[in-house]
Amino acid sequence: MRKPKMGLIAAVLIAVAAVFALQKLTGGLVPLADEVIQSFQQSEAYYVKTTDNAEMLGNGKYSYTLTGYDASGNKQQIKTEIDKKLHPGAFIKIYAAGAKGKGWVEVTKEEVPEGALAEME
């Protein structure tokens, strides 16, 4: 009778430790689920004119919340982490699945589609 109780207590302690580790390492269950779901989504290209709104993270990266526009001018909020600080006024093309930025490249103003450029200015 004593062994099943000890097994149950051990299982509960392991579950609590796993939830605590999940919260610390991933920001919680909801962001982890979003990450998994977004990994299956098709990335789309958005264009952004950067501002000076970077937040320095403890890992040496910069966190950005950007307002991007696709070629037709449709707006999308995009969150991403970038290894360097972007200079304000730069145009970037960022690939995003939903609100998660996946990769980016700096482009010239001439490379930005008219629909996106009209919304930025």
- Report the percentage of the chain scoring pLDDT > 70: 78
Confidence check: pLDDT of 47 > 90: yes
Average predicted confidence (pLDDT) for the chain: 80
> Which has the higher per-residue pLDDT, 22 or 88?
88
The strand pair at 75-82 and 62-69 is best described as antiparallel
Report all structural domains of the chain as residue ranges with CATH numbers, in order of start. Answer: 2-36 (no CATH), 42-120 (2.40.50.480)
Categorize the per-residue pLDDT at 112 as very low, low, confident or very high, splitting at 50, 70 and 90.
Answer: very high
Cβ proximity of 46 and 93 under 8 Å: yes
pTM, 2 dp: 0.63
